[in-house]
Amino acid sequence: MQVLNRRLIRMIWNTRGQFLALIAIVMLGVLIYISMTTAYMNLSRSQQSFYQENEFADYFLHVVKAPEAEIKRVANIPGVVQVTGRIQKDISFIKADGGRGTLRLTSYKLPVEGELNQIQVDSGRMFAREGGQGIEVLVDPKFAAANRLKPGSLIKVIAGSREVSLNVVGTAVSPEFIYLMKDSASLMPEPEEFGVLMMPHENAEQITDMQGQINQFLLKLVPGADEEEIKEQAEAILEPYGNLAAYNRDKQLSHLSLKGELEGLRVSSRFLPLIFFLVAAGIQFLLLGRMIKAQRSSIGVMKALGLGNMRIVMHFLSYPVCVSLLGSLLGSIFGIYLASIFSQMYAMFFNLPASIGGINGTAILYSVILTLLVGISSGLLACRGILLIQPAEAMRTAAPVGGGSIALEKLSFFWNSLNSAWRMSLRTMFRNRTRFAVTVLGVAGTVVILLMAFFSSDATDYMMERHFSMENRYDFRVTFNAPLKQSDITYWQQWEEIEAMEASLQVPIKVSKDFSGSDEKIRSEDDSLQGLRVGQKLLGIYLADGQELQVPENGVLLSERTAKKLAVQVGDWIWVESKMGVGPSHQARLKVTGIPQALLGGGSYVSLETANRLLGESRLFNSLLLKIDTAKSEQFKNRLKNMTAISSVLSRTKERANWDKMMESMIFFIGVMILFGGVLGLVIIYNSSLMNFNERKKELASLRVIGFTRQEIGNLLFKETAVQAIAGIIIGLPLGRWLGGLYIGAVSTDLYTMPVIIYTQSYFIVAGCTIIFILAGFGLVLPKLKQIDLVEALKNQD
Amino acid sequence: MEKPVLMRLENISKQYHMGEVIVEALKETSLDIYAGELLVIVGPSGSGKSTLLNLVGGMDKPSSGQIFFNGKELSVAGDQDLTMYRRQEIGFVFQFYNLIPDLTAAENVALAAELVEEPLTVDEALQGVGLLERSRHFPSQLSGGEQQRVSIARALVKKPHFLLCDEPTGALDYQTGKSILGLLDRVKNMGTTVIIVTHNTAIAAMAERVIRMRSGDIIEVLVNENPLPPERIEW
């Protein structure tokens, strides 16, 4: 039926503004859906295949040092399929500028095939067992790039107290090093400072002086194996060798980070497009409903001519189908482009084997189906009206709209204070409840999207503020290879660059709740303990409510994370066992005097004396917190370069600079979110204002005849827009806050808890931005006021 | 007794562009309108009577010629000035009443009252059309005649110089139409200039002057020395 198709094109042309606006919203929904789903699917797929191909272990056991022969015993534990033993140890390397960094030396038995946590060469070639050319090593690609290492470069490391030069033969990736951070206290990867050094096992034995020994067991388990049971048996076997840690994949740092990222993408890719599709559905429903009402008599004529309901419904349904198809086409094109930006960003932060880009047909197919469903279902709802139209009746004039009292009038005090214009606006809104609701929800959706954009930036900013200004007040943290005596401090005290200095003793520990006598099964958690001087100044420790805590003379400030897991409260007693890696492990019973909250990393705190007592030592420390005269910071760094006893130097300024760099990519996404939210707000207001205007053209023309100026008519229409906007903002702000909390709950990992922080000013900025977008949407309708034809008012009804 | 001239139309004409066709809605015409008179303009569809009414009401500007209202030239006034003119000087009564459906009778009147400095009170206006007791009803709850009365009250509340009525009885039955005409006659007797545009030649009997139009031209201006009271008009 070509005529109806031509009629459809005219229908689209006559409502072209709204048609384009609808396409814009559908396009944004599809764009977000496709870009995020594609990124999610690509990242997740490449994670899975990478894990599988390289036999990523299920379980990890760390000991101080064990004979290789123990591999067999661990492998015999029921539920264990395979065990790989290896050496992994952090060693210092000397950077090109003479500074120190840390490399995670990891050993691989040759051939690597058949072992767990295999590596995949990314560039260069696989290392070979030492021949005449010295030790061959591979490093991770990010580290190589940051330190400008190429196949053929040499890298100097400190083994024991010797300097050893190693031959870099290439770069390699492994499932355990995808997102590479030194430890859970790190903010982000710092490839200049920290990387992975992969080498043949024999060479690692040499360098670490661990002939015939290993310190890590990687386990592959049968699916559904009882991890707790296996852990108990393995720890029993390895007890003589000093158990340091036992954990599954979910606590593996790289896996955890990647999981958090994937989860964030998954949640966002479902939630954000939903807002756009719902608004699109709402607008299509209203628009189509209005068109059907306005074309009542035409529909009557079509029916009188013998066109069936089905044919007419299909004719009107073609409109939302066009919107859906065009919207998904444009959304797919831009979505694929945005997905490639995502992929580039991931490639920047993740050590993954190949490019993770690529067009995802499934995502595109899903989005087309989804938009068609949205369009057709909202269209069908609106088309119900067609079925009710009787030809003879339809060709007569429709009954005039009936005004009536609304519930609000019962508030007589309020109602009586309103002028006629306000009463008219309120009653009109009430009469068009569906439109009002769709518009309010659309504005609320805009507010939610804007708030989410600000929320991620506020929460990060708050975290940074806490991390850099409140918690860590030192400029440098220098960590030593081995503990130093209190007397060694005098050496440092001579340095003129140092303004303040505090010693710290960091001890990895295992914590369990003291049940003294009860039969409850004893659970333990790994944690890190830091001994500080009582009255410490260079490190701030805070309660969740922001109150500052001091290190207690005798008790322990137990990290919130551990306290939660063990259900420990202030006043309880806990057992703390040291896991130092050297010397025997010691235990101490300590009273919990506070439970501080750290948003990043964090750990537990005791006094320096308590920490020493735990190790059966006195007056030891293994790291120094330093505050440096800023003018002499270069001089200080140069001095550090010549010291071999240092294992790592953490510079806060550098950390901050790295962080700011990462924030730049975040700002891009915040900008994009604001833009998308803005388009949503603009379109929803444009649509509802235009519909309002079109429906009331005649009424407005009469008012013009009576003597209303154009501006007064504009004000009249704006009252409705303003009420909808304010209602939307009032609903949207708390809704956004609430959804932010849900989002955080969904994506929080053991690694870090993002606080649900939205600064007060952000609420105002979001409200302000929303108002601007709303004014812009309303502004697009204003020129129409010029089209009001006064003579229209004199014409017959309809 | 000669009444003073309230509006003078001098050689005005009006052409509309309807696509590529130029429609001559009003040929060169001159007319004086006197203060306080009841003028009826009659003629068939397309005779130019509505165009004339629109020009008098400041809803449109002539293509040529001049219009003076109280000595001030209206034909050169800008859009803003015309709006102010309509606001202060004109009360308009539509064939289909054009009340705001979301406002009660009283509120419809109040909306117009809010436009001018010294309006009648809403109650006075509604009392004047005999609808005070229905003031809280919405248009959909009123009969056609009642709606037209509200519409007249809305026009009068601004105390305009002109009351312009476009087919005021066109949508009403015979009895109701007559009562509306009676109301308009009373309005005239209170000093307002009333202009009624209609197909219905019978209404001309109540006019002091009747203007007959055809094809954009005034073909006759008839002075009626003895206007009939509306209740005696029959059609």
- Residue B149 CA to residue B207 CA, distance in Å, equals 20
Residue A29: its pLDDT value, please?
92
What are the distances in angstroms from CA A113 to CA A116, A120, A638? 8, 11, 44
Is residue A787 within 8 angstroms of chain B, CB to CB? no
- The structural domains of chain A, with segments of one domain joined by +, span 53-251, 419-475+652-798, 498-628
pLDDT number for residue A230: 92
Hey, is the C-beta of B88 within 8 angstroms of any chain A C-beta? yes
Cβ of A424 and B154 within 8 Å? no
CATH fold of A498-628 reads Cathepsin D, subunit A; domain 1 (2.40.70)
pLDDT of residue A752: 64
**Prior bond of B160 cis (ω within 30°):** no
Task: State the Cα–Cα distance between residues A601 and A186, nearest whole angstrom.
Answer: 7
Across the range B109-116, mean pLDDT stands at 90
A400 in contact with B at a CB cutoff of 8 Å? yes
- Residues in chain A with pLDDT values less than 50: 797-798
- What is the pLDDT averaged over residues B29-37? 92
CA dist A774 to A23, A424, A435, A722, Å? 18, 21, 16, 9
pLDDT tens digits along A449-462: 999 888 878 888 88
- Mutation pick from B80, B82, B100 vs chain A, by most beta carbons of A within 10 Å, is B100
Is the pLDDT assigned to residue B56 strictly greater than 50?
yes
Rounded distance between C-alpha atoms, residue A652 and residue A558, angstroms:
25
Q: How far is CA A109 from CA A54, A175, A489, A591, A765, in A?
A: 14, 17, 42, 45, 58
Contact residues on chain A for B59, CB-CB shorter than 8 A: 705, 790-791
Question: Chain A: nearest CA to B146, how far in angstroms?
Answer: 15
Closest CA to A450 of A39, A770, A93, A8: A770
Query: Which residues of chain B from 8 to 37 reach within 8 Å of chain A, CB to CB?
Result: none
Do A708 and B83 lie within an 8 Å CB cutoff? Answer: yes
Residue positions counted in chain A: 798
For residues B218-228, average pLDDT: 90
ipTM over the 0.90 cut-off: no
pLDDT of A518: 60
Residue A11, CA distances (Å) to A7, A19, A316, A322, A436 in order? 6, 10, 9, 12, 24
Cα B51 to the center of its chain, rounded Å: 12
CB of A35 within 8 A of CB of A335? Answer: yes
Give CA–CA dist A185/A648, Å, rounded. 14
Query: Are B96 and A403 inside 8 Å of each other by CB?
Result: no
CATH class of B35-63+83-232: alpha beta
For chain B, the 3-state helix, strand and coil shares in percent, each to the nearest 5, are 35, 30, 35
CB contact under 8 A, B140 and A707: no
Give contacts of A400 with chain B, Cβ < 8 Å. Answer: 101, 139-140
A12 is written with which tokens? 């689209």
Mutate to test the interface with A, among B18, B102, B122 (most CBs of A within 10 A): B102
Measure in Å the smallest separation between the Cα of B86 and chain A Cα atoms.
Answer: 5
E strands in A37-77: 59-67
- Which phi and psi angles does B210 have, rounded to 5°? -125, 130
Rounded Cα–Cα distance for residues A123 and A168 (Å):
11
Whether chain B has a CB inside 8 Å of the CB on A731: the answer is no
Eight-class DSSP state of A601? S
Quote the pLDDT of residue A131.
64
Contact A299, A312 (CB under 8 A): yes
pLDDT value of residue A776: 94
**Cβ–Cβ gap B90/A707 under 8 Å:** yes
Compute the nearest-CA separation of B188 from chain A (Å).
19
Task: Report CB contact under 8 Å: B112, A707.
Answer: yes
Report pLDDT for A153. Answer: 92
How far B2 CA sits from the closest chain A CA (Å)? Answer: 30
Q: For chain B, where are the E strands, in sequence order?
A: 5-18, 21-34, 38-42, 64-69, 72-73, 90-93, 162-166, 193-198, 209-214, 217-223
Q: What are phi and psi of A546, to 5 degrees?
A: 95, -5
In this complex, is the C-beta atom of B84 within 8 Å of any C-beta atom belonging to chain A?
Answer: yes
The residues, ordered by sequence, that sit 6+ positions from B50 with a Cβ below 8 Å of its Cβ are A791, A794, B166, B197
